[in-house]
């Protein structure tokens, strides 16, 4: 005759399964780390790594984040208003003065590409998603200690000492960029 399982027995059994599964996962993780670490590329190979990104689907006002050498890179297609603001900003009021034209490549004013790491203590700033706060200067806002970056990724307010870094990149076609 089939034995009936009560709810309590069932949840006890689920707990045992879960415990066994997590112990197994820790074991695999511990073993996996040594294995994966031994497969990591040498530092010089990593330094050469580049990544190609198709930017065709990005509409004006939108942004995407890609990973490059383990870091987030923000790619924003700026609106005419964002470009104008970045161009007309007063460099004499900036902590790390740099003209907007020096932060874009190949005369592609719409496209801003910056490493998405706050130059204060390394948080990832907000402002990539439409619903996220972009700070007082319409670029990015780092909530860790309140740094505000403008639509050129330049530091305008808060403790960060320098602008968001522009990585080496180039357009290999109108719709593809190569970072690194």
Enumerate the active-site residues.
Answer: 145
- Does 158 interact with ligand FES (rule: CB under 6 A)? yes
138 membership: H or E segment, kind and range: strand 138-142
128 touches ligand FES (CB under 6 A)? no
Integer Rg of the chain from CA:
23
Per the structure block, which two tokens stand in for 117? Answer: 């790491």
Segment near ligand FES (CB under 6 A), from 25-33, 39-47, 118-126, 164-172?
A: 118-126
Minimum distance, C-beta of residue 41 to ligand FES, in the bound complex (Å): 29
**Is the CB of 138 or the CB of 158 nearer to ligand FES?**
158
State which residue, 78 or 120, has the beta carbon closest to ligand FES.
Answer: 120
Q: What DSSP string runs through 12-59?
A: HHHHHHHHHHHHHHHHHHHHHHHHHHHHSPPHHHHHH--EEEE-TTPP
CA distances from residue 137 to 30, 49, 86, 140, 154 in whole angstroms, order as listed: 45, 33, 9, 8, 9
Closest approach of ligand FES to the CB of residue 26, in Å: 32
Indicate which single residue of 76, 77, 78, 120 sits in contact with ligand FES (rule: CB under 6 A).
120
150 pairs with which residues across the strands?
138
**Cross-strand partners of 140:** 149
Give yes or no for residue 115 binding ligand FES (CB under 6 A): no
Which region, judged by CB under 6 A, interacts with ligand FES, from 5-13, 18-26, 96-104, 138-146? 138-146
Interface residues toward ligand FES, by CB under 6 A: 118, 120-123, 142, 144-147, 158-160
């Amino acid at each position: 005759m089939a034995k009936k399982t009560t709810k309590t027995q069932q949840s006890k059994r689920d707990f045992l399964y879960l415990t066994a599964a997590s112990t197994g996962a820790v074991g695999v993780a511990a073993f996996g780390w040594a294995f994966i670490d031994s497969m990591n590329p040498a530092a010089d190979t990593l330094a050469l790594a580049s990544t190609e990104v198709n930017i065709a689907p990005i509409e004006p006002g939108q942004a995407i984040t890609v990973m490059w050498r383990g870091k987030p890179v923000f790619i924003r297609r700026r609106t005419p208003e964002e470009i104008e603001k970045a161009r007309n900003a007063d460099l004499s009021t900036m902590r790390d003065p740099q003209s907007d034209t020096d932060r874009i490549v190949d005369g592609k004013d719409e496209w801003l590409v910056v490493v998405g790491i706050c130059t204060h203590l390394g948080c990832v700033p907000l402002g990539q998603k439409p619903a996220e706060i972009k700070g007082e200067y319409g670029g990015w806002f780092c909530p860790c200690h309140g740094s505000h970056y403008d639509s050129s990724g330049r530091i305008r307010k808060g403790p960060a000492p320098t602008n968001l870094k522009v990585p080496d990149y180039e357009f290999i076609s109108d719709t593809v960029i190569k970072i690194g």
